[in-house]
Amino acid sequence: MIKKKISCFDLFKITNSGQCFRMYQLDEKTFETVAFGKHLIIENTNDDVFKFYCSETEFNNTWYEYFDLSRDYDEIINSIPKSDIFLQKAAFLGRGIRILKQEPWETLISFIISQRKSIPAIRTSIERLCNNFGNIIENNKYAFPDALILSQQSEETLQTCALGYRTNYILKTSNMVADNLIDLNKLSNLNNDALLEKLMEFPGVGPKVANCVLLFAYHRIEAFPIDVWISRILEKEYNNNFDLNYYKNTAGIIQQYMFYYAQNSPEYKIKKTK
DNA sequence: AAGCAGGGGACGT
DNA sequence: ACGTCCCCTGCT
């Protein structure tokens, strides 16, 4: 176990930020996640003190980068202009969210699944995928299955993970990666535009999913995925006149604050037509 | 308690 | 620019 003092690190908000789907809250102060084939438990003992239940080597080699701990998020929040009242508000609410650096393969499949699904439904699908096809790590904890294993499954077998019409996307994408038509780990040296274009070669990957993979796996902080929640914000708060150029270097982080605000504010709950 | 609407889109037409 | 793809979840 190692103990760290970290500011701007809110595990509850990260768990519910919609960028990862395998992080769970165990009790008031304890969270767990599985990533990179490792199971991690973190305890938020008080204020900004955290206990990571892993070796120091594992912390340094895996989790430090995974949780983006080298970045100063307060500096980013402070750089938001006072005139942007909405973002001030959203950043205050979302303070503590960090942009995770997740595995490209897992992120790609997760966000293909995400289309037209609610977050709990996405979690269910991914959990079944891991339990059914992933390597066991320890009791009841399974790694995210690799492309080869998934490519060997039949449509019927994959359907047990409640993937719906996305089954075919995932099967084809798995085949492309298993056959090494696109090597996800070698895409890191592409610039944002080229990377986006490359990812969109996978079936079921359009601009939104590709931008999520850019941001949450390749850690391109400039990526700005626009989903239904963000477009509601851009319409309601900015009258569709949001100047993204102004926030170009931190667009992805700004996007997370917007998303979190939309998810947690009553005025953005889905309206029911009576 | 069953039935219905809607959900972090992409794709073919 | 539109309808359609599928199924889980949360509402009534």
Q: What pLDDT, in 10s, does the model give residues A223-238?
A: 999 888 888 889 889 9
pLDDT of residue A272: 31
- Mean pLDDT, residues A73-79 taken together: 97
Flag whether pLDDT at A247 surpasses 90.
yes
pTM of the model: 0.95
- How many CB atoms within 10 Å of residue A208? 15
pLDDT tens digits, A119-135: 888 998 999 999 999 99
Nucleotide nearest to A168 (CA to C1'): C5
Asked if strand B comes closer than 7 Å to A227 Cβ, the answer is: yes
Q: Is A40 in a helix, a strand, or coil?
A: strand
Cα A140 to Cα A149: distance, rounded to the nearest angstrom: 19
pLDDT of residue A228: 86
CA of A92 to C1' of B8 (A): 22
Nearest to A188 by CA among A219, A211, A221, A148: A219
Q: Is A217 in a helix, a strand, or coil?
A: coil
Asked if strand B comes closer than 7 Å to A19 Cβ, the answer is: yes
Asked if strand B comes closer than 7 Å to A228 Cβ, the answer is: yes
Q: Is A9 in a helix, a strand, or coil?
A: coil
CA dihedral A118, A120, A125, A126 (to 10 degrees): 110
Flag whether pLDDT at A274 surpasses 50.
no
Please report where in the chains the tokens 């701990």 appear, as a residue.
A69
CA dist A189 to A104, A134, A218, Å? 13, 28, 10
Q: Is A236 in a helix, a strand, or coil?
A: helix
pLDDT of residue A60: 98
Which residue type is seen at A139? N
